[in-house]
Structure 1
């Protein structure tokens, strides 16, 4: 598991996400947000210029300043009195199928339908540009656990002009990103963030702290861009991890990233810990995407551009009791769980959810 001392805000400033053009396959709005919109300036680390993000009052952000405060704010849990037992796994899965595609992004362009490049949505079936915590919470979902009404999305994949959807339910891991896995707590209701950026360079994509393996198919691994050829009937896969340390103050910030950070390595140890600026350990989300791949891949692209522009969004709308049960049983409990919260290698530990993926 790759770690970095850089926070997302220092590495990839995500205000460029809201630029009016996103490259190949982008869809932009003909409407001008107007002079009444607020803006936030932030430097792009790889272009050296400043991009302004249009911010408008909407949904969860009534004043349109881009900051959504946590209520109440949260401080870090104290470390365990002694090191927890060594466990290789401390995770569970959320298996969620694709619901729809649309040029919407309720995090970057809330209340502005059609403004973004095309996205492929998973989980909550109602996700659109107007989605809020209230509209998502308790809604219908394609995730195996009915308690997971969260919204997950990423730029749509194309082969030429044909949209290619992922194969079946996708695996979204919830892991411990810190060594003391007993300090991981559930996501606060309404937390949202963006991982990566459509404007990142190929080198920034490779160096991203969430990088796991890059694009791969057949015997081709570690690719920044798409492999040029994949065996017939194979899968194009990608894994990318999200930051798991929270500042405890905001459910969102104007760049949609700086309220989150990746763990640091504690000096003089091999322990991964949350930095003082982001002291609250949350689950580390990891997307593991699987697309059908067959033969020539030279025409494959993302709606945001080349393979190095991959990024994804997460908007938490879990039922609180269900998420806590899975986090406590699987992550804090040091187990390798499926979507029911069941670890086949430790059957005696039982499952967090029943056969219908609901709380017992």
Structure 2
């Protein structure tokens, strides 16, 4: 969706809720308490946003994230959830790597990197946002995508993990499932959309995915019904991450064969391994109240904080390794050194 379409939505009195907000960076390091709890370092680098209860374990028995956190990088100050993705790198022709910085979306200028988070009752094309959804529960967590996928056939399992080659800040279409093949004037946006049907019983599952499902037919956007195995309709959770690839657009630095030079931190140059992790941490019933209220982007039922305040929320780095500047290998690879 183009920015002007998003703006037009704000002029329509919604029947219910669509939340869109920015969250600044919390930490960037090799930790993953969902897939690799208690492991530091985890196999590949992640960028994390949200509440400062984030740590290397975060097992369900450790308690409510919202009760443990004292600050959040997100604009809604009752949201202590944690959201994370892999990290994008540029691989130069000489084989060295450089982390690609993140920049905030339009409307969230001043944020320390991070990403934009959505909670929707219907797809963005539905102006009224009329569908009833059940908010996630305390202890809920999920994963979408597979870090080891490298083909489109594999990635087709996840219908709505895509990329947008940004011509300017408001570009939203077209989307592709693999990395853009040509330089993008404003950067690359990675879009991560989670399944919207829950089994209504399990807050998690061994693979962090089986308790969730896509609609039985179609997609969330066109109102497809949930399958009987996963009958509870939950909000569409979506991430937008803008990777500032502009300074890496010189084709003379790209591979000699002209192939695209960007690679995820798990050494994926196809883009098909994109994935997102989520741990619910909204305070009390604040998310359900918002989903039941006439909210669009901002929400009168929720408390907000300034971007500047969110920028101040951080957690100590647990893994001590170089992740900035030019690197001989991706973080976690044998023999990595800074140059």
Q: Please say whether Structure 1 and Structure 2 have the same fold, judged by a TM-score greater than 0.5.
A: yes
Q: How many residues align?
A: 254
Distance in 2 separating the partners of 1:265 and 1:283:
17
Q: Is 1:322–2:315 an aligned residue pair?
A: no
The answer on whether the counterparts of 1:246 and 1:278 sit within 8 Å (CA) in structure 2 is: yes
What is the Cα deviation at residue 279 of structure 1? 1.0
Which residue is equivalent to 1:175?
120
Q: Is 1:125–2:52 an aligned residue pair?
A: yes
Q: Is 1:301–2:263 an aligned residue pair?
A: yes
What is the Cα deviation at residue 240 of structure 1? 2.4
Change in Cα spacing, 1:251 to 1:286, as seen in structure 2 (3 Å) is same
Distance in 2 separating the partners of 1:251 and 1:287:
21
What's the secondary structure of 1:115's corresponding residue? coil
Q: Deviations over 1:92-150 (max 9, x none)?
A: 12321111111111111111221321111111234232124536324121000111110
Q: Which runs of 4+ in 1 moved over 6 A?
A: 86-89
Distance in 2 separating the partners of 1:355 and 1:108:
31
Q: Which range is displaced more, 220-229 or 134-143? A: 220-229
Which residue is equivalent to 1:115?
42
Which residue is equivalent to 1:16?
none
179, 191, 197: which is aligned to 1:245?
197
What is the Cα deviation at residue 208 of structure 1? 3.9
Which residue is equivalent to 1:162?
98
What is the Cα deviation at residue 231 of structure 1? 4.6
Distance in 2 separating the partners of 1:151 and 1:254:
19
Distance in 2 separating the partners of 1:355 and 1:130:
28
277, 295, 318: which is aligned to 1:313?
277
The answer on whether the counterparts of 1:177 and 1:244 sit within 8 Å (CA) in structure 2 is: no
Q: Deviations over 1:300-359 (max 9, x none)?
A: 210121211100100101112321221111xxx4x5x21x32xxxxxxxxx2235648xx
Distance in 2 separating the partners of 1:355 and 1:276:
37
Q: Deviations over 1:284-309 (max 9, x none)?
A: 10111111121146332101212111
What is the Cα deviation at residue 217 of structure 1? 2.6
Change in Cα spacing, 1:176 to 1:209, as seen in structure 2 (3 Å) is farther
Structure 2 alignment gaps of length 5 or more: 2-12, 92-96, 105-113, 255-259, 307-339
Q: Is 1:91–2:18 an aligned residue pair?
A: yes
Change in Cα spacing, 1:194 to 1:355, as seen in structure 2 (3 Å) is closer
What's the secondary structure of 1:308's corresponding residue? coil
More strand by share: 1
Aligned alpha-carbon RMSD (Å): 2.9
72, 94, 117: which is aligned to 1:141?
72
Change in Cα spacing, 1:202 to 1:318, as seen in structure 2 (3 Å) is same
The answer on whether the counterparts of 1:152 and 1:314 sit within 8 Å (CA) in structure 2 is: yes
Distance in 2 separating the partners of 1:271 and 1:153:
27
Which residue is equivalent to 2:84?
153
Change in Cα spacing, 1:147 to 1:108, as seen in structure 2 (3 Å) is same
Normalising to structure 2: TM-score of the pair?
0.67
Higher relative contact order (Cα pairs below 8 Å, separated by 6+ residues): 2
Which residue is equivalent to 1:276?
228
What is the Cα deviation at residue 181 of structure 1? 4.4
Change in Cα spacing, 1:328 to 1:199, as seen in structure 2 (3 Å) is same
Normalising to structure 1: TM-score of the pair?
0.63
